[in-house]
Amino acid sequence: MQKIKIHEVGPRDGLQMEEKIVPTKTKIEWIEQLFQSAVDIIQLGSFVHPKHVPQMADTDELFKYFSKKKPSSIILSGLVLNEKGLERALNCDVDMVCLGVSASETHSMKNTNMHVEEALSRVITIAKEAQSAHKIVQLSVQSAFGCGYEGPISEDQVLNIVHAYLDAGFKNLSLADTAGHGTPEQVKHLFGRIFKLDDSLELTGHFHNTYAMAMADCYAAMETGVQTLESSFGGLGGCPFTKIAGGNVCTEDLVRMLHRMKSRQDIKLDPIIEVTKKAEKFLGRELTGMVCKTGGIKV
299 part of a folded domain: no
Position 84, amino acid:
K
CB 277 within 8 A of CB 39: no
Which CATH number belongs to the domain containing residue 89 in this structure?
3.20.20.70
Domain of 87 in residue numbering reads as 5-294
Q: For the chain, what is the domain count?
A: 1
Q: Give whole-number Cα distances, 157 to 1, 85, 163, 201, 260, in Å.
A: 28, 26, 10, 19, 36
Question: Tens-digit pLDDT profile for the chain (299 aa)?
Answer: 668 999 999 999 999 989 999 999 999 999 999 999 999 999 999 999 998 899 999 999 999 999 888 999 999 999 999 999 999 999 998 999 999 999 988 888 877 778 889 989 999 999 999 999 999 999 999 999 998 888 999 999 999 999 999 999 999 999 999 989 999 999 999 999 999 999 999 999 999 999 999 999 999 999 999 999 999 999 998 665 555 566 899 999 999 999 999 999 999 999 999 999 999 999 999 999 999 888 766 65
Position 78, amino acid:
G
Q: What is the pTM of this model?
A: 0.95
Q: Is 239 a catalytic residue?
A: yes
126 part of a folded domain: yes
Question: Of residues 92, 98, 239, 250, which has the active-site annotation?
Answer: 239
246 part of a folded domain: yes
> CA-CA distance, 161 to 152, in Å (whole number)?
16
88 part of a folded domain: yes
166 part of a folded domain: yes
> CA-CA distance, 24 to 57, in Å (whole number)?
9
